[in-house]
Structure 1
Amino acid sequence: MSIPPRPSPARSPVNILHPVQLLQVTRSPQSLKSSFYYFAYGSCMCPVDLKRTLGESMYPFVIGPATLQGYRLGFYRRSLLRNCGVLDVVPDSNSRVEGVLYQLPWRLSELLDEREEVPRGGYRHETIEVDCQNQRYTDVRTYVVVNKLPEELAPNDWYFNVVLRGAVTCGLPEQYCWQLFSHMHRLQQQQVQIQRSA
């Protein structure tokens, strides 16, 4: 009985594409990364609150306090969940935003997007550069509001407290923490006056 000839390498399906090559072709460039940098400036500055939605301790992923130049904070979105104003960053060449830089595992990316309501058009990704511990970090993700309010809307007490707790816990500059407190308090006082005069 004659032995059938072996298929040539060109025709063998095994040799068409090595499994490792196939993996590299089918995975997106983002999914090939094991982690990503994330700059938080609002409630996500608080590792305890971030754990609530991402499901694991965030402290191991904190790099430290970071500065975003050329932007300023503003409460330009109404959160339907919290029924109050929530933070956004908008370009402003004369300002800066202090926040917390994380290096998060890529497996948490979709959960973070869900928290920031990316699938529902709440926030979108913005790629930025930040300074942290005398080092410049590039290709950093943050989130900006898609449909901004024309004027700022005051936060409620819960959001006020979690933002301030995150800022203090992660070591943001004391003066910036006071500015953040004053900004939120002023918006709340203005809202009270508007409600009384209505």
Structure 2
Amino acid sequence: MELFNCNHPTVAVHKSHATEPTFYYFAYGSCMCPVDLKRSLQEKTHTYVVGPATLQGYRLGFYRRSQRRQCGVLDIVKDSRALVHGVLYALPLRLSPLLDAREEGYVHEQVTVDCQGQRYAQTRTYTVSDKLAYELAPNDWYFGVVLRGALTCGLPEHYCWQLFNHMHQLQQIDLKAAKQAG
């Protein structure tokens, strides 16, 4: 079975939606996975993928506890020395309310991202509104969906390993703390 590859040269923004108003959306967490994003937006999102993108001046961290997922989930925080890789989508504006509902606990932030040699200003992303003071480990499901999105959509291998190692390290810290507590 072949997995969908966002980097495949034939992938382009869906032509039938070309006349619809759209907005650019930079995903860096579970929404990088078009299959998972489909769950919330109630339609296939593969065709809205523009490609792998980078956001300068930010870094990732797990500074939010998701009540729905019962684990730490990704956020971005400003850091002039850092870079976040993610996926750029050109989504129909009609999907904005569904995306906002999925991203409960986050607020819109307008950023500029680079994708396939072009700059995309006024790109929407989401950042946690009430950040934790510490990082909270993701659960296995969230870990998997984030990695699946990163790998499927062609983020650099070294970055995928960084994601893996960071999430694994947080889980190991949680496991050690749980063993000591009980």
2:132 maps to 149
Larger relative contact order, structure 1 or 2 (CA cutoff 8 Å, min sep 6)? 2
C-alpha displacement of 1:106: 0.4
Question: What TM-score results when the alignment is normalised by the length of structure 2?
Answer: 0.88
Structure 1 residue 89, shift from structure 2 partner: 0.1
Measure, in 1, the Cα distance between the counterparts of 2:97 and 2:43.
14
Once the two structures are superposed, residues 74-123 of structure 1 have per-residue CA deviations (whole angstroms, 9 ceiling, x without a partner) of 00000000110000000000000000000000000000000001xxxx00
1:22 aligns to what?
none
- Cα RMSD of the aligned pairs, angstroms, is 0.7
> Offset of 1:150 from its aligned partner?
0.5
Unaligned residue ranges in structure 1 (runs of 5+): 1-32
Distance 1:165 1:60 in 2: 17
**Pairs aligned (count):** 162
Distance, in Å, in 1 between the alignment partners of 2:146 and 2:133 is 22
| 2:37 aligned partner | 50
Between structure 1 and structure 2, the one with the greater Rg is 1
Q: Distance in 2 between matches of 1:177 and 1:96?
A: 13
Equivalent AA in structure 1 for residue 76 of structure 2: V
Q: Distance in 1 between matches of 2:108 and 2:152?
A: 25
1:23 aligns to what? Answer: none
Point out 4+ residue stretches in structure 1 off by more than 2 angstroms. none
Q: Distance in 2 between matches of 1:123 and 1:176?
A: 24
1:106 maps to 2:93: yes
Q: Distance in 2 between matches of 1:155 and 1:170?
A: 21
Q: Is structure 2 residue 62 aligned with structure 1 residue 75?
A: yes
Select 1:66's aligned residue among 44, 53, 64: 53
What is the identity percentage for the equivalent residue pairs of Structure 1 and Structure 2?
69
Aligned with 2:156 (options 173, 184, 192): 173
Query: What TM-score, normalized to structure 1?
Result: 0.81
